[in-house]
Chains A and B, each alone.
Chain A
Amino acid sequence: MSMDTDTALTVSGLTVELPKGTDRRHAIEEIDLHVGRREILCLVGESGSGKSVTAHSVMGLLPKDQLTAVAGSIRLEGEELRHATEDRLRDLRCTRMSMIFQEPMTALNPVMSCGRQIDEVLQTHTSLDQQARTAKILDIMEQVRLPDPRRLFSSYPHQLSGGQRQRIMIAMALVLDPVLLIADEPTTALDVTTQAQILELIKDLQERHDTGVLFITHDFGVVAEIADRVAVMQWGRIVEQGTTEQVLKRPDHPYTKMLISSVPSLVPRHRETRRAAPVVLRTEELAMTYSQGGMFQSKRSVVAAQDVNIEIRRGETLGIVGESGSGKTTVARCIARLIDPTGGRIYIDDDEIARVSVGQMRSHRRRIQIVFQDPYRSLNPRRMVGASIIEGPMNFGQPRDEALARARELMGLVQLDPDALDRYPHQFSGGQRQRLCIARALAMEPELLIADEAVSALDVSVQAQVMDLLDDIRIQLDLAMLFITHDLRVAAQVCDRLAVMSAGKVVEYGDAAEIFANPSHEYTRALFSVAPGRDWTFGEFLTD
């Protein structure tokens, strides 16, 4: 084998078998890829495509009882890893290859200070004395741009923000200068602003340390930001591989074309304005303060939302965008009266619902329906989906037969098989379940449909379909829609009007097209400037 000093990792013909009785034989099949030093290879694909299995095979972290590599080779700087002993792999981890994960909170030990966790790596793999180790740790913490490294050295993970925790993970991964860094969706759990900083950091460190990076992501925006080369995975195989320019601009494989075409554009879709339609929802100075504490604890309170004034007309979609903790979901839950707002007024048509009692609220329930983020938890796993859909109408006295007939119609409307009503939720995919949730909401014939991050948990191709479905339904049924999302691309495609929230307040409010073209508030501008892949236009490639 050639000892190419410019190659960090070469994988060829790698096949990993799944346990018997699963829906396909191989988790990954004949994977060929290589990562050069100073190069970032992005491995893109939808959930279940085998990206993580590939990464974990390289690290030797496959769960032994479930997954085994049956063929192919994994070479790190020319050294074969597939047959390496556990001891050898342990030596190599962190010294020659490192990995960072999606959720830094669970990847760090919560009862050990950050400094000591990095120190553990050094103690295991080097013979440096205490002083030299501390110096090295402070140096790497400086390099990952952590503020005040001395203080953070003795801080515990829960005292840090998500971005800082991910920096600690990166520091730990890079402290011994490995040739290969595997990053498994490292920014997926982070806000866009933090994500942009982490991406920049990884790119910068990788150049300075001559590291090869295998970067796993599902987000084409991130790919466009960071990748030198891209490999696209589908069903355990790499279907296309090439430079970023090649793959994003001139994709060859129909699957890649479909994926890239599904990426929503940041340029708002042209929509006709409907200023004349009646107002369905109006909030006045809506406020929500969470307070904790009880008999034996001191009271604490957090202001989650304040002074929220929004308005939605019939047939119109209002988007609320913002980062996590901005209060957008709180607003949605207040409007749906899943929580009781602590201040302000909510009007549906002209009925005030913020202050009505639970009993009085019940009669208003059917007018506001909500679709949640997680399609796997939104349907009762023990009940047939038909029963879930007709539950609402039957609560309001509709006879069972009538409700079932209506449910069959709705299944058609959300493009599912009407005969599937007697199946259980686990027999449906994530996208299908989200359609079922939409059908359940529509069964109530609401005036206002709230979509709380309803497309965020879905793969990009499914996301595009569900977005289209929601938009079709809004037009067909002339619904008012409140669309909560953190994703500016999604917001650009479905919203007529936009409310940008930050720290519980609406900082900018107006026509979506206007805000995207001309953001006036400082925060909005900052948010737009960090949207991954903002300089790329993801083309629409027609697929057959």
Chain B
Amino acid sequence: MSDLSDLRQETAGLVDAAASADAAARKLSVWRRLARNQSVVIGGAAMAVMLLVAIMAPFLGTMDPAEINPAWRNKVPGTELTGTAADGSQGWVYRMGTDTLGRDTYSRVIYGTRVSLIVGLSVAGLSIAIGLVVGMVSGYVRWLDGIIMRVMDGLMAIPGILLAIALVSLSSAGLDTVILAITIPEMPRVVRLVRSIVLSIREEPYVEAAISVGTRLPLLLIRHVLPNTVAPLIVMGTYIVASAILVEAILSFLGVGIPPEIPTWGNIMAEGRLLFRIFPHNILFPGLFLAVTVLAVNMLGDGLRDTLDPRLEKRM
């Protein structure tokens, strides 16, 4: 006896009527609701800090992350550099110690933030841009749908990391290759989401009404279908950011990602792996940054999902 739908509708109708008294007030309330959601606030703040760290990396008391100092290899965190460093500064403190080549782990981790965020954001941006177009076409052009979706099924059947490894090994390693390699396995999820939204929206009477007043297909999609995908895609985007950052770290750790001279969290951990038992700091600090970033992005995503579109949970 759980069918309370009529009643819910009735009450929801009443609540709705009052809540929607004014369109402007409603728009404001989205921001207010976001501000009230704890995971949005915490996740968003942590992400903002990470973004600042990435942008301000040279000004955060870092040295050149690639600079090798053979005399100061494998130092534990807090070791003080006596004498003069290459750039002439004195009394340098290795806050997070040094690695096997004597590079400053702190500087490397801070600069690594840049790579991680660039990879995360570009993968999210790219896969959403491509996924949106492909998903719309798939949802609207019926005869293409079968073909596109089978290709996407195929892509989904390949483990993402394996596909990325294969793609990286086909071309030279580099930031752009890694971004592309992570984007391809992420894309099918976006395509599926967009397609499912388009399929349900195209049946809506207001879309049919637009067709019968002669609205052309591109305008129809942009005007009536696209706005419905915005909220779900923002949420999906945050999840992609998190998973892309993770996959990039994994690829680097496996040595098939970004070349080792560029500091990324994965690279730092890969190099620290051999001496992990004696000098755990080379794994610990980048690992901590990675964990905090991914957690923050996921919290932000959960919060956004709960505020923007509570029904989305079932869809993804």
Contact = CB atoms under 8 A, between A and B. Distances in A.
Interface of A: 18-19, 21-24, 27, 47-48, 50, 52-53, 56, 59, 61-63, 66-67, 93, 99, 101-103, 106-107, 184-185, 294-295, 336-338, 362, 365-366, 368-370, 372-374, 377-380, 382-383, 388, 391-392, 395-396, 423-424, 426-427, 437, 440, 443-444
A426 B24 CA distance: 12
Given A101-B3, A391-B215, A440 B209 contact: yes
Given A23-B17, A372-B208, A53 B23 contact: no
A406 to B, nearest CB: 13
A48 B13 contact: yes
A24 B14 contact: yes
A391 B210 contact: yes
Give the interface size bracket for B toward A: 35 or more
Contact of A52 (B10, B16, B146): B10
B158 interface: no
Q: Is the interface of A mostly helix, strand, loop or mixed?
A: loop
B15 interface: yes
Given A63-B8, A377-B205, A427-B23, A368 B212 contact: yes
B7 A426 contact: no
Contact of A22 (B18, B208, B209): B18
A437 B227 contact: no
B209 A52 contact: no
Contacts of A61: 1, 4, 7
21 contacts: A18-B11, A18-B14, A22-B14, A22-B18, A24-B14, A61-B7, A63-B4, A99-B1, A101-B6, A102-B3, A107-B3, A337-B212, A338-B208, A365-B212, A370-B208, A377-B204, A380-B224, A388-B206, A395-B216, A440-B209, A444-B214
B150 interface: yes
B81 interface: no
Given A22-B17, A48-B13, A338 B206 contact: no
A53 B10 contact: yes
Interface of B: 1-8, 10-11, 13-21, 23, 146, 150, 204-206, 208-216, 219, 223-224, 227
A391 B205 contact: no
A395 B14 contact: no
B209 A372 contact: yes
Contact of B212 (A56, A63, A369): A369
A391 B213 contact: yes
A404 to B, nearest CB: 15
- List the 8 closest A-B pairs by CB distance, nearest first: A392-B213, A372-B205, A365-B214, A378-B205, A107-B3, A395-B214, A101-B3, A380-B206
A106 B3 contact: yes
Contacts of A63: 4, 7-8, 11
A382 B150 CA distance: 33
Contacts of A380: 206, 210, 223-224
Given A379-B206, A380-B206, A22 B15 contact: yes
A24 B8 CA distance: 16
A325 to B, nearest CB: 18
B53 to A, nearest CB: 37
A444 B20 CA distance: 30
Contacts of A184: 6
A421 B119 CA distance: 46
A52 B7 contact: yes
A103 B6 CA distance: 10
B214 A366 contact: yes
A63 B5 CA distance: 11
A365 B220 CA distance: 15
Contacts of A362: 214, 216
Contacts of A22: 14-15, 17-18
Given A23-B17, A382-B227, A423-B23, A52 B6 contact: yes
Contacts of A440: 209, 213
Nearest to A444: B213
B14 A48 contact: yes
Contacts of A23: 14, 17-18
Contacts of A102: 3, 6
Contact of A378 (B8, B146, B206, B227): B206
A203 B53 CA distance: 75
A440 B211 CA distance: 12
A50 B13 CA distance: 12
Nearest to B145: A294
B16 to A, nearest CB: 7
A67 B11 contact: yes
Contacts of B8: 63
Contacts of A106: 3, 5
A63 B8 CA distance: 8
B10 A48 contact: yes
A103 B4 contact: no
A48 B12 CA distance: 10
B212 A370 contact: yes
Contacts of B2: 107
A395 B215 contact: yes
Contacts of B223: 380, 383
Contacts of A374: 205
A520 B175 CA distance: 79
A21 B19 contact: yes
Given A101-B3, A107-B2, 12 more contacts: A23-B14, A23-B18, A47-B13, A48-B10, A52-B6, A107-B3, A380-B210, A380-B223, A383-B223, A388-B209, A391-B210, A395-B214
Contact of A27 (B6, B11, B17): B11
B209 to A, nearest CB: 6
Contacts of A379: 206, 209
A392 B23 CA distance: 24
Contact of B1 (A62, A93, A337, A368): A93
Contacts of A48: 10, 13-14
A33 to B, nearest CB: 18
B141 to A, nearest CB: 12
A336 B227 contact: no
A336 B212 contact: yes
